[in-house]
Amino acid sequence: MTATTNNTPASNTSAGDALASTGTSTGSLDPRRHAYRADLADEALRGKVLAPRYTKGEAATILRTSVPLRKQPVYTAPFETEALFGETATIFDSAEGWAWVQLAGDRYVGYVPADALVMGLPPPTHRVKSTATFIYPEPEIKTPPLLHLSLNSAFAVASSSDRFYELSTGGFVVARHVAEIGWRDRDFVEVAERFLGTPYLWGGKSRIGIDCSGLIQVAMQACGFNPPRDSDLQRAEIGIDVMVPADLDGLQRGDIVCWPGHVGIMADGVMLLHANAHHMAVAIEPLPEAAARIKASSGKGVSAIRRVSGLTS
């Protein structure tokens, strides 16, 4: 399944500042999705940015339930996003317990703990299709689990039975929670609805905690589409613009409602599904009520409606 996309580059005023010491303007190269810093850059950016050193990096796999990706290699830095179990990344640099990486899926760049990454694993063959599941040390649900896994976590299967899949890295997952990598959900709205009640977490994208753009990303990924991570990029690149009626009437299931800094999903023509800091959870409510509250608290009205195709039943 595919979604209509518009690859209009999003502007980012800080992009040119990151390499100010090199005297090179990076133009439209968003540092969130291009690996460069003052002392080092991705080899693929040679000729586009000036850096003292370039590297192709090394491929690795996240082998924790989830790992925050941060702009700076300090534990007090805010989350930019999360990398889930089985996500692949390119390691460009590693120092003092931190790896500077670019995630393969949404291309986000940042720092993760180096010990969360493992090299040389086989490519994933399966992914978690349920909202959450567990890795057990034995093929028995009464044994204490080793790890919690979220939707879209991926792994290579070493063997399988009717009840369990054995991971190549060890442990067992309940078979009915797993699907082959090529299997896709049919309706991203239905996937997002499974997260109702999940706590709001800035930068989160799992059943443990999730934010507004993370909800859209993981739901669409479950349907085989790989949208960008942040709300401004989703506004620019997901779907096509439709007119925003003054009364917010006439919207459709699956429409993406955009505010500056916030996004939500229409569950039908009236109800908005979104992870938000008012409820501090994924909640569903009438769009006019949500829009009025957001306008009253922030002064910001709905900035766009984006319509996607092929991702709803």
The whole-number average pLDDT for the span 59-64 is: 98
SS3 234: helix
Q: Can you say how many angstroms the Cα of residue 165 is from the centroid of all Cα atoms in its chain?
A: 25
pLDDT of residue 21: 31
Which residues have C-beta within 8 Å of that of residue 198, sequence separation ≥ 6? 207, 208, 209, 210, 275, 281, 282
pLDDT of residue 27: 58
Spell out the CATH class of 126-180. Answer: mainly beta
Residues of the chain with CATH 2.30.30.40: 20-118, 126-180
Rounded Cα distance, 79 and 73, in Å: 11
Q: Is 257 exposed, middle or buried (0-12, 13-18, 19+ CB in 10 A)?
A: buried
Under a CB-based contact definition with an 8 Å cutoff, are residues 226 and 268 in contact? no
Q: How much is the pTM? A: 0.90
Domain 20-118 has CATH 2.30.30.40: yes
pLDDT of residue 26: 52
pLDDT of residue 9: 33
Which residues have C-beta within 8 Å of that of residue 243, sequence separation ≥ 6? 305
**How many alpha carbons lie under 13 Å from residue 124 in its C-beta half-sphere?**
22
Token match 């390691």: residue? 91
Residue 211: closest CA among 221, 203, 223 = 203
The whole-number average pLDDT for the span 218-241 is: 96
Tens of pLDDT, residues 250-289:
999 999 999 999 999 999 999 999 999 999 999 999 999 9
φ and ψ of 68, to 5 deg:
-65, 135
Rounded Cα distance, 195 and 198, in Å: 5
Confidence tier at 1 by pLDDT (50, 70, 90):
very low
DSSP 8-state secondary structure symbol assigned to residue 133: E
Task: Give the percent of the chain with pLDDT over 70.
Answer: 91
Question: Looking at per-residue confidence, does 10 or 222 come out higher?
Answer: 222
Domain 188-307 has CATH 3.90.420.10: no
Residues of the chain with CATH 3.90.1720.10: 188-307
Under a CB-based contact definition with an 8 Å cutoff, are residues 225 and 1 in contact? yes
Tens of pLDDT, residues 194-216:
999 999 999 999 999 999 999 99
